[in-house]
Amino acid sequence: MADSSKLADTLNELALFVNDRIEGYKTAADETKDPQNKAYYQELVQQSEQFANEVNGFARAAGGDAESSTTLKGKFYRGFMDARAIVTSRNEKSILDSNIYGEEWAIKAYTEALADSALTGPARQAVERQHKASRQTLRKLQQLKGLQEV
């Protein structure tokens, strides 16, 4: 039982970061003026919602609860970015910078979850798949930022 409790804790912690990802991309989709970026951010919101549902399902199966909140750090960061937006008028580069920073944190959360030996079987496979998708997203965001700098 201790293993499933530890697994639920690990998955709940990861779900907090996935929920941060949802909020970050919702904000980006609202703030961008680029229609292609808006569509991409909306895709990432949907992807993140699927990830959260999947992680929460495994957490419930391990005896935990679904996590619908976000991290305290994420809340502070979004507040900071909202204040910064007033000053910088949230250009595409600053939106991409925010998304890159958030995706780097998501990747760290996935890496930490994957370091947990209690994470096995289908739950591990799901987290590995999400981790891979997050790394691909980071690469694409970095490419988009490179295009902004040309």
Decide if 32 contacts 92 (C-beta within 8 A).
yes
Tokens of 102: 């958030």
The answer to whether 29 and 38 are in contact (CB under 8 A) is: yes
pLDDT tens for the chain, 150 residues long, are: 456 788 999 999 899 899 989 988 998 999 899 999 999 999 999 999 999 999 999 999 998 888 887 766 666 555 666 656 555 567 888 889 889 988 998 999 999 999 999 999 999 999 999 999 999 999 999 999 988 776
The CATH number for 2-148, chosen from 1.10.10.60, 1.10.10.10, 1.20.1260.10, 1.10.3720.10, is: 1.20.1260.10
User: pTM for this one?
Assistant: 0.87
Residue 22 burial (CB count, 10 A)? 18
Could you tell me how many residues make up the chain? 150
Cβ-based neighbours of 80, under 8 Å, separated by 6 or more: none
SS3 track for 128-141? HHHHHHHHHHHHHH
